[in-house]
Amino acid sequence: MIVAIHDFHMPGSMTWSHNALSDYLYGARTSLHQNGAGDPEPVLEKIESHTWNGKTIPSKFFAQPGAENISAVLFTNSATITKFNRMGKLAGLGSKDVKLIRQGFMYNPDPE
């Protein structure tokens, strides 16, 4: 089984994403810490649970009971209409005069 999800929690949310999904699915995140020489070094941090608004759930979705039949979780932050437009264009549908351009930005607060 494959689960497809999308973020519609607020206006504009379908055009950006957050790393919270991968943190939840895999129960881990990577961050940079300075090693003894002062150089940035990736460190894997395990995440046991997630708490919000007084509710706590376990992390690592794929390790939860009942998840053994889930093969994948599909997610995209590229919205829905624009994604279907690109799929149609790639399949040769619609006018040959139509050009589709995709662009985006990625925010990274770490100066390294």
pTM of the model: 0.61
The pair of structure tokens assigned to 38 is 């002062």
Q: What percent of the chain has pLDDT over 70?
A: 89
Q: What are phi and psi of 26, to 5 degrees?
A: -105, -10
Domain residue spans of the chain: 2-79
Strands in the chain per DSSP E: 2-5, 28-34, 40-46, 49-52, 55-58, 72-75
DSSP letter, residue 103: -
Please tell me the predicted confidence (pLDDT) of residue 14.
Answer: 65
pLDDT digits (tens, 9 = 90+) for 64-83: 999 999 999 988 766 567 77
Identify any residues that bridge with 41 across adjacent strands, giving them in sequence order: 33
